[in-house]
Amino acid sequence: MNDETVRRWYAIFKGGNELVEVRAIKGRNIYSGYFTDVDTMISEIVKYDKVCNMYFTVNRIKKACYSREQRDRMLASSVTTSDNDIERRIWCLIDVDVRKPADTNSTDAEKAESLKVTRRVYTYLRDEGFEDPVVCDSANGYHLMYRMDEANSDDVKAVMSSFLQVLDMYFSNEVVEIDKATFNAARVCKLYGTSSRKGMSTEDRPQRESNILNVPDEIKATPLAFFRKVADALPRHDASDYRSTGSFSIDDFISKHGIRVSGETFSGGVRRIRLEECPFDSNHKSPDSALFVMPNGAVGFKCFHNSCSQYTFKDFRMKYEPDAYSRKDLYEHHRKMDFYTPAERKREVQQETKEKGRKLLRMSDIEDIDYSKIESIPTGVKEIDERLRGLLLGEVTIVSGINGSGKSTWLNMLALNAVQAERKTVIWSGELPANRLKSWIFQAAAGKGYLDYRNGVYSAGKRYIGKIEQWLDPRLFIYNNDYGNDYEQIISDIRTFNEKGDIRLFILDNMMAMDLSALSGDKYEQQKAFILGVKALAKETNSHVVIVAHPRKETTLLRKEGVCGTSDLTNAVDNVLLIHRVNTDFIRKAEEFWKHDKVAVLSEFDNVIEVAKNRDFGHEFVTGMYFEADSRRFINDRAEVIRYRWNDTEQVTMGFDVDGHPDNRIEPNRNFDTYGDPDKFGLPY
């Protein structure tokens, strides 16, 4: 037994003073002890270390259990910690184990396969927004210990059970399996610093000492919403399917539509069908996408490339059979496709005046509007993109909000979402220097899990900057402020930039920093000329222009009329968006305009985006957003993870490709070859 590792374990997992049960197990003999002092515990368990496997209770035990007869001592006892004895769930144990005969140890080769799967699981959960885990060597495999802080309830138990089943479905293979049984609240785990005492210690299957390999600088709890999001990927029969799911045959479906399969495996009751290529991107080759058939016949789909990670089996089926689900499901499917796949651009060549037709058009001369065919810019705000179809090309939007409301954060997200949808974007910032703006954009582009933390500040991880630059360079441009802030100069340059007609979003931040002196009249006449010129520019270039306008200094909640400048600004534009930061001042002011129940709902969010004007559909509404401070992102729900295309090469590989498929696409930043040295072992951040 390694006393130093045991003490480190107690400090990390139990805070140095929490009640813990330790169990020593040898065959059918079970010895149990409850401890709150590490020295007392070590003096007791050392007696059993040579012959027994040592375990500890992962979650927080009710203090009353300390009154059991095995208080501060190890005793043979049938009374051990049950699920009802757990006060709160504090840790999620992901046990990446080796398939081997009972009461034996793993070989070095089997353990190496466990390491590969551990890295894949870690990378997948990192990209799903999970906080960094504590990484441990279980002696025969590896553990990922994720901090959580949840009630010991049936709901949480169900989530954790489905969560582990999904990981098993994705990553288990013929050699390695994710233990699906570790979901119960009273789960015990290998006591790190003690050795495996399974079977005999032989040259090819040695008994090894368990260890703690990597501990984050700050151990943060991952909210249940993230576990639930992964758990929701567990295939289930869909009641919204128009056809009888009981009669649905995945084999008939594959044959009918000529879907090419590269192979399949079956383990743990799950059939895994590898596809030769992803149906949503033919560049994603086997084994990176697959179908999963559960014992009850439910089917799931997963492509591990970040750009396709949003697609489910429902999307997979609608790719071939659009009428299989409801119109609402089909709309959601098309919305996903529109966001990740560039729409075809239809440009009309300008004709001679004679060819344009009548100046006074009859109703039958006018083509009906089909909004589904109008190109738009996705904002990333779910309700805006659903109700307004994003920001339509040929239009102008004003964005306003008081200082600190989140305007810059939202604009950065808008620019990245436009780039994600292959809409080239230009930003003119009259306030921020280019390097500061780049830093903020890159921080949002990187996202949680791909950030560096130095001197109390987050920034895009240095090892990812080159990839982000490569993605953004042909698509996102920042206007060089050395050329000044003259309105006519900037508009002239925008027209020049757009000679090829491929820039679709212009962000002007902000109007008050722009020099309008070349325009005639007083400041209000200048502002009117400015906004009319911008509207003409949007239509001429078939782009969307976003203008930031500061609000007037008012004591009430910002309204459309409170946007600084002439009233012609908000009257002329197509959309007015007001961004509010949710704090006590916002809540107090909002209750002057909205009902208490509505304000109570909005108060749950970090920021509120108000559509104060929408010309096309006439919608006016408010929608809440959460602010992810580490990445400077707005997200629709706490567990939302936005995957931008720059990190599509960071995809996770399936767990069942143990036939020599290269694993070097997951780029570690540390050496994985030395198992026992915490300075040389790690998982990619």
Q: Check residue 500 and report its DSSP letter.
A: G
Q: Are residues 190 and 263 in the same domain?
A: no
Q: Are residues 440 and 588 in the same domain?
A: yes
Q: Are residues 306 and 430 in the same domain?
A: no
- Average the pLDDT over 173-197 and give the result: 95
Last residue of a domain, one of 603, 622, 637: 637
Contact indicator for 515, 487 with CB cutoff of 8 Å: yes
Domain total in the chain: 3
The percent of residues in the chain predicted with pLDDT above 90, rounded, is 65
pLDDT confidence tier of residue 323, bands split at 50, 70 and 90:
confident
- Give the up-direction half-sphere exposure of residue 598: CA atoms within 13 A in the CB hemisphere: 13
Whether residue 602 is contained in a domain is answered as: yes
Domain enclosing residue 80, as ranges: 3-233
pLDDT given for residue 242 in this prediction: 44
Calpha distance 41→23 (Å, rounded): 11
Q: Which two tokens stand for residue 45?
A: 């368990």
Contact indicator for 400, 612 with CB cutoff of 8 Å: no
Q: C-alpha angle 506/511/514, rounded to 5°?
A: 95
Whether residue 249 is contained in a domain is answered as: yes
- Max Cα–Cα distance, the chain, nearest Å: 100
Q: Are residues 290 and 311 in the same domain?
A: yes
Q: Are residues 481 and 504 in the same domain?
A: yes
Q: Are residues 66 and 157 in the same domain?
A: yes
CATH number of domain containing 134: 3.30.70.1790
Cβ neighbors of 607 (< 8 A, separation 6 or more) are 405, 406, 579, 580, 581, 582, 624, 625, 626, 627, 634
Q: Are residues 117 and 265 in the same domain?
A: no
Calpha distance 319→312 (Å, rounded): 11
CB atoms inside a 10 Å sphere around CB 459: 16
Q: Are residues 217 and 305 in the same domain?
A: no
- By C-alpha distance, which of 394, 383, 441 is closest to 608? 383
Whether residue 79 is contained in a domain is answered as: yes
Q: Are residues 228 and 260 in the same domain?
A: no
pTM of the model: 0.78
Cβ neighbors of 650 (< 8 A, separation 6 or more) are 123, 127, 306, 665, 666, 667
Q: Are residues 116 and 222 in the same domain?
A: yes
- By C-alpha distance, which of 299, 340, 388, 350 is closest to 540? 350
Say which amino acid occupies 621: F
pLDDT given for residue 670 in this prediction: 39
Whether residue 651 is contained in a domain is answered as: no
Calpha distance 519→386 (Å, rounded): 38
Bridge partners, residue 91, by sequence = 147
pLDDT given for residue 634 in this prediction: 96
pLDDT given for residue 668 in this prediction: 36
Whether residue 254 is contained in a domain is answered as: yes
CATH number of domain containing 487: 3.40.50.300
pLDDT given for residue 341 in this prediction: 53
Calpha distance 231→92 (Å, rounded): 13
Query: What pLDDT, in 10s, does the model give residues 501-527?
Result: 789 999 999 888 898 888 888 888 888
Last residue of a domain, one of 637, 658, 677: 637
- Average the pLDDT over 83-96 and give the result: 97
Which is higher by pLDDT, 619 or 455?
A: 619
Last residue of a domain, one of 199, 233, 267: 233
Helix ranges (H only) for 407-559 are: 407-420, 434-446, 462-472, 487-497, 523-541
pLDDT given for residue 372 in this prediction: 66
Least confident stretch, 66-75, 218-227, 523-532, 596-605? 523-532
pLDDT confidence tier of residue 144, bands split at 50, 70 and 90:
very high
Please state whether beta strands 299-303 and 289-293 pair in parallel, antiparallel, or not at all (unpaired): antiparallel
Query: What pLDDT, in 10s, does the model give residues 610-637?
Result: 999 999 999 999 999 999 999 999 999 9
Contact indicator for 392, 544 with CB cutoff of 8 Å: yes
Contact indicator for 45, 72 with CB cutoff of 8 Å: no
pLDDT score of 75 more than 50: yes
Q: Are residues 227 and 332 in the same domain?
A: no
Q: Are residues 224 and 288 in the same domain?
A: no
Contact indicator for 217, 453 with CB cutoff of 8 Å: yes
- Average the pLDDT over 127-134 and give the result: 94
pLDDT given for residue 202 in this prediction: 93
Whether residue 360 is contained in a domain is answered as: no
Whether residue 656 is contained in a domain is answered as: no
Q: Which two tokens stand for residue 316?
A: 């997979």
pLDDT given for residue 354 in this prediction: 60
pLDDT confidence tier of residue 339, bands split at 50, 70 and 90:
low
Whether residue 646 is contained in a domain is answered as: no
In order of 381, 404, 578, 611, the CA distances from 624 in angstroms are: 9, 16, 12, 11
